Structure 1
Amino acid sequence: MSPRRALLLCGVFAPPLFFLALLLFGWMTPGYDLARQFISELGAVDSPVRVLVNVFGFGLFGVFLVLFSVGVVRSSVLRTTGKLSALFFFAAVVSMILVGVFSCDANCINTTVTGDLHNKFSFYPFPILTVAFLLLLVDATRIKNLRWLVPFIPLLGIPALIFRFASLPLLREMYPGLLQRAAIGLPFFLVMLIAMGVYRTEEPGDARIPKSAKFFYTTALALIVLSVAGLMFSLFASSRAPYDGVPGICADTTECRTICQNNRGRCQSYCARNEEAPVCTVLGF
């Protein structure tokens, strides 16, 4: 395998490994609800899996995608526009790494400089990745072997932007964790598809996909399926059990007694729509 292909392969495996790791770390955290709590809460200063998430989640994921960015620059297939996208992939990845470096505060109610930096760096990857995808879209329309990517870029990119930036009040209030995972998962699944496409076209003389590539593709897709299945299982379990907190704010009534004092409006808004929720009965909202 050529060094270029090895670098591009990092982009194939980074997203599925990242989401599988987050799924496992979520299951390892007592009381954590994947559908109702944010990913950042797994890496918060009070999380029992903080080091695992920030090092083997955000950190390792970032290293893999940095290598992928180098592979994009060194690609013999992509033109100047496509190679320029590597700069934006790199910038987005650095921001993702810094999300892990600067953990959010306890319960991700950020009041410190570190928590504020966490919020800022968690915002930047999405608009930066949008530019990268648009640059690659230009190249994909020009390169025959990459044209199959053209419909996937808007089909995955536009919903990701909607999930990330649109208000979607009901979904954001009830299942903020699920919405966040969709907003992050779609663009990074697109990164995986792009890596597969460029990896395949690096040796245009190949009439077939090599057996090694088929193995890598199958393994990566299997990890994606496993992660999605695990997330759906968690969502099913979450929907059948009453949540003891306020989604996206606090995880149980003990936390909510304190946190809702400083977030009264958000807690009252949730309880206005969910009067029978256990936490609302306890808090009296």
Structure 2
Amino acid sequence: MKKIISIFIACIIITLVGCSGDGHEGEAKTPSGSSVQKGRDYEEVVNEFKEKGFKNMRTEKREDLVTGWLTKDGEVESVSVDGDQDYSSDEWYSNDVEVVITYHTFPEKEKRDTGSADQKSSAKKNKSKNDKEDKSTNDKEDKSNSETKEKSNNDTSVESAQEIVTVKNNEDFAAVLAVKNEADPIISEFAKKYEGRTIEFDGYIANMMLHGNYKTRYNILILAGDYGDTTFSGPNFQFKDVNVVSDLNLTGSNIPDTIGMGQNLHITAAVEEYDETSGLFRLDPISTEIR
């Protein structure tokens, strides 16, 4: 009888032990599904998977960023668990399966170019300061000649200001649209030199967002070229605080009811300023032709 009771108690203990485990030893449960991870910072995603118990993490970078305006540096493109990019949340996997996190970043060359551009910009500022001091000294020594030259230059400026600047008639503008680094110092130099002048070029809407709390006024990012181009060049142009109807002055044979990201345009606009802090080259739209 005692033997039977002992066996019965042992069975109860085994059953309780079996029930107390969760049945997922050596496994890890996925956090949010793959679609939720897209657009997040990749380091946050890595840490989240580690906290869930995954041990085999690998990151892959896509060096495809040009401006960093639409897609941020480090932004996740996709996450795969054991080769599956369509996994769901709260799924159990062996904790040693491979988790691959792919994210966007700037090419290494572009990062080096940006640092080099900062050094060049600083050198040019110092040179500009010295040039201004030299010019001031020369002006005091020969005031009468300066006034004569100034009058002549003003007459020439009035004549040249009437001509619209394009890549065909202006080497400076052609060089600006060809730069690969949107922070290249020649962009700032061009903006200062041609402030108030009218430029004309083909571009497209790369991004469009509401300005502040307004519902009908927008900040529009314009890039040179055609939407869908695989290569990018030129500054980050911006129409700031504009109304699509009254400010853009849309023209063309087929004006759509609405415009948005991806719309190809032929732009005629006045040069306002280049903001070195934001990297935006602001323009005042004169006419915008739908292409």
Both structures adopt the same fold (TM-score exceeding 0.5)? no
TM-score range, shorter chain: under 0.3
Q: Which has the larger radius of gyration?
A: 2
| Higher helix proportion (structure 1 or 2) | 1
Please report the TM-score for the alignment, with normalisation by the length of structure 1.
0.21
| Structure of greater relative contact order (alpha carbons < 8 Å, 6+ residues apart) | 1
| Higher strand proportion (structure 1 or 2) | 2
Please report the TM-score for the alignment, with normalisation by the length of structure 2.
0.20
